[in-house]
Structure 1
Amino acid sequence: MKITRLAPAAALLAVGALTLSACGGSNGGSNGGGEGGEGGDSGSIAGTLIGGGASSQESAMTAWVEGVKGEHADLTVQYDPVGSGSGREGFLNGQYSFAGSDAAMDDDEKSQAESICGPEGVFHVPAYISPVAVAYNLPEVSEAVKMDADTIAKVFTGEISKWNDEAIASQNEGVELPDLDITVVHRADDSGTTENFTEYLAAAAPDSWTHDVVEAWPSDIAAESAQQTSGVVSLTNSTEGAITYADASQVGELGTVAVGVGEEYVEYSADAAAQAVESAEQAEDGSVELDRDTEEAGVYPIVLVSYHIYCKQYQDQETADLAKAFATYVVSEAGQSEAEGAAGSAPISAGTRDAAMQSIDAIGVQG
């Protein structure tokens, strides 16, 4: 990566409004551990860390919440999968000590964060890398349906409304596509997955996707909607002919589109997603900028980079220690392996881990 300036549901507990100072537990130590989560005394970290945000991370978060106890038995993490926008809002309101988000904070949000985190503000850890699948419900079609970027854009804007439309059929010779209406399903809530998906459409199909890059689906596109990742997947599962976009780890038995990239069609995979991120540029705040209209062979371009957003300085030592310990575990080889097994995500590279650890190790307390 180039560096430039630029859980089971029961384990994921919804929490009420809390101040950051209330999110720290007792007996917090001063050592959050070194890289890989092996540098600290596991008995020195104790308490509850509260986070909330991206539902795309739900499966991985369950694994991290359980896995971190192998490093710090008395560290409890509660995470509320309310969606990226609500997670960042909760962080800025002092409800969460860290936010999970499929989109980086914008300049206004980073400015607002100074009221919580102090003048040094926040940083982003690209903790979770996953393909965003274009998933559909066509029980009689066994092959992955092929679509280039323009076709995907026209389907989601409603310009293409039948599965056997010539634009789709011409890319799927030998596949019997049904004479069936396409039902587009999108996120009803503000969503980082929506932002990642529309960012791809805007970059790779600018003539067909004339809308902005948005977290809230354009209101002038007639379509069905549902809350959070689980909602759009459930609605698509129950509606024959439906199509949606969702974190690939949660699409289950739905069919998925092989996306046109250059002269080939690429099905989603962790490796293909990792290739997209490896060549991305990383900004000083830890966020990355992806090449959405790449033509590089083997790259899956609809990639979700989901962040954990932390304060550079917390209001008390206990919360700083808890955040540092959890953040260290998440980016460790063990933590990334746990997420890969639970969610099929792509482990971050060594370069990404090293850059993240520089910021994590520097977490401190406001003076």
Structure 2
Amino acid sequence: MTSLPGFKRAASAVVVSILLTACGGESTDTTMESPTGLQVTGAGATFPEPLYQEWIRRYNAKQTEAHFVYEGGGSGEGVKRFIAEKVDFGASDSAMTDEQIAQVARGTTLIPATAGMVVLAYNLPGVEGELRLPRDVYVDIFLGKVWKWDDPRIVAANPHLDLPSKLIQTVVRRDGSGTTFVFTNHLGTISPTWLTEGPGIGTLMNWPGGAMTGNGNEGVAHKIKISHGSIGYIEYYFASRLGLPIATLQNRAGNFVRPDAESGRRTLEAAATAGMPENLRLFVPDPEAEDAYPIVSLSWLLLYGQYPEPAKATALKAAVTWALDAGQPIAEELGYIPLPANIVSAASRALDTIR
């Protein structure tokens, strides 16, 4: 399977950090405060959660002006808490819709903070080697139309593999999820059938074919890990951390591409150069480049346009500025896509508008 440089060492550090948090150790323990008593809380997407936890661990260790805390739970939950003003910042892999933004009296600023790849991880004991999935095939797997691993279309794309006559068990998200939005937005873009016969595009779907469900990227990854014959969509980090095999997917140009940070960065850079929206909601559901991995997405921080506490606004702007600069190499270490310079510049300009 694919691995990115430095991933294993850095991923281990994050796992330790998260375990310390769960066990009441240091890292992002919500009982800890800065000497000034200023605590900044956030919630939302699980797609970038390992990265955000590592950023927070390092940033809290280097400054004492504020203590940052982040809780996953899914993009839907993050947007919900942000609109209700129960957090200081949210996080979402699907950004926010105009209708959602209109509900925020203090204004909303969307900041692209990182990017990643949604991959199809699977569990096929005894099947060794690269599993290739053509575009129409993985659409039909999640439509419930391709339901056995030795289906002739899968076999034709993988003559080098001894595929079993075993039922395919899809694993999907149970919660409102930006990862689900990214995946279904891709499926709906490449397949009209997905829109007419499938569940469509969104963050919470009614999946066909008796899909197995899990909460968060972590929950889906663990379901795949323990379920023979399964396949599910998750963020690259989670598949790599658990050692799950990852399918090689066919892109728009007809090439089979594994997830790769450099090809992802080039995809985003080209998309931003072609036209970065003023609200920074840049989606790339079906990149055109010959070497592009087909499912790449930005992930956004949700910040208020105005904060009643000036110190909180100052602390957030300083932390996000650090993340857009020093935090990007850390993102690449963990298997995320470092933001290209043109997106960082646009994000920094948006950050400057916050008061």
- Counterpart of 2:318 (choices 307, 316, 325) is 325
Runs (4 or more) in structure 1 with deviation over 4 Å come to 12-15, 24-27
Within 2, Cα distance between the matches of 1:131 and 1:138? 22
Q: Is 1:356 aligned with 2:347?
A: yes
Question: In the alignment, which residue of structure 2 is the partner of 1:78?
Answer: 69
Equivalent residues in 2 for 1:191-340, closer than 5 Å? 191-208=177-194, 210=196, 211-251=199-239, 252-261=242-251, 262-280=253-271, 281-290=275-284, 292-332=285-325, 334-340=326-332
Within 2, Cα distance between the matches of 1:131 and 1:209? 22
**TM-score (structure 2 length as normaliser):** 0.86
- After superposition, what is the alpha-carbon deviation per residue over 1:285-315, rounded to whole angstroms, capped at 9, x for unaligned? 222121x333421101211311111112112
- After superposition, what is the alpha-carbon deviation per residue over 1:45-84, rounded to whole angstroms, capped at 9, x for unaligned? x722100000111210122102223652343110010110
Which runs of 5 or more structure 2 residues have no equivalent in the other structure? 1-13, 22-26
Give the total of aligned pairs: 324
Equivalent residues in 2 for 1:164-203, closer than 5 Å? 164-203=150-189
Within 1, Cα distance between the matches of 2:30 and 2:163? 43
Are 2:283 and 2:298, in contact at CA under 8 Å, matched by a contact in 1?
A: no
Q: Secondary structure at the match of 2:126?
A: coil
- Which residue type is aligned with residue 255 of structure 1? P
Cα gap change, 1:14/1:82 in structure 2, threshold over 3 Å: closer, same or farther?
farther
Which runs of 5 or more structure 1 residues have no equivalent in the other structure? 1-6, 16-23, 28-45
Are 1:26 and 1:318, in contact at CA under 8 Å, matched by a contact in 2?
A: no
C-alpha deviation, 1:282, in angstroms: 2.2
- Which residue type is aligned with residue 226 of structure 1? G
Q: Secondary structure at the match of 2:193?
A: coil
Question: In the alignment, which residue of structure 2 is the partner of 1:123?
Answer: 109
Cα gap change, 1:176/1:219 in structure 2, threshold over 3 Å: closer, same or farther?
closer
Q: Percent identity?
A: 27
Within 1, Cα distance between the matches of 2:93 and 2:300? 6
Within 1, Cα distance between the matches of 2:51 and 2:349? 23
Question: In the alignment, which residue of structure 1 is the partner of 2:10?
Answer: none
C-alpha deviation, 1:133, in angstroms: 0.7
Within 1, Cα distance between the matches of 2:43 and 2:171? 24
Are 1:186 and 1:217, in contact at CA under 8 Å, matched by a contact in 2?
A: no
Within 1, Cα distance between the matches of 2:214 and 2:60? 34
Question: In the alignment, which residue of structure 1 is the partner of 2:89?
Answer: 98
Q: Secondary structure at the match of 2:192?
A: coil
Within 1, Cα distance between the matches of 2:200 and 2:257? 25
Within 2, Cα distance between the matches of 1:26 and 1:132? 39
Q: Is 1:111 aligned with 2:102?
A: yes
Q: Is 1:68 aligned with 2:59?
A: yes
Cα gap change, 1:60/1:259 in structure 2, threshold over 3 Å: closer, same or farther?
same
- Which residue type is aligned with residue 319 of structure 1? K
- Which residue type is aligned with residue 102 of structure 1? D
**TM-score (structure 1 length as normaliser):** 0.84
Within 2, Cα distance between the matches of 1:25 and 1:358? 28
Are 2:267 and 2:289, in contact at CA under 8 Å, matched by a contact in 1?
A: no
Cα gap change, 1:112/1:227 in structure 2, threshold over 3 Å: closer, same or farther?
same
- Counterpart of 2:122 (choices 113, 128, 136) is 136
Within 2, Cα distance between the matches of 1:26 and 1:285? 36
Are 1:145 and 1:257, in contact at CA under 8 Å, matched by a contact in 2?
A: yes
Q: Secondary structure at the match of 2:159?
A: coil
Within 1, Cα distance between the matches of 2:73 and 2:157? 37
Q: Secondary structure at the match of 2:48?
A: helix
Question: In the alignment, which residue of structure 2 is the partner of 1:36?
Answer: none
Structure number with higher relative contact order (C-alpha < 8 Å, ≥ 6 residues apart) = 1
Q: Greater strand share, 1 or 2?
A: 1
- Which residue type is aligned with residue 258 of structure 1? T
Say which is worse superposed, 159-168 or 61-70, in terms of deviation: 61-70
Within 1, Cα distance between the matches of 2:207 and 2:38? 43
Within 1, Cα distance between the matches of 2:207 and 2:133? 24
- After superposition, what is the alpha-carbon deviation per residue over 1:264-297, rounded to whole angstroms, capped at 9, x for unaligned? 100111122222212224221222121x333421
Within 2, Cα distance between the matches of 1:312 and 1:26? 26
C-alpha deviation, 1:329, in angstroms: 1.1
In angstroms, what is the RMSD of aligned CA positions?
1.9
Are 1:282 and 1:289, in contact at CA under 8 Å, matched by a contact in 2?
A: no
Cα gap change, 1:199/1:257 in structure 2, threshold over 3 Å: closer, same or farther?
same
Cα gap change, 1:339/1:223 in structure 2, threshold over 3 Å: closer, same or farther?
same
Are 2:247 and 2:258, in contact at CA under 8 Å, matched by a contact in 1?
A: yes
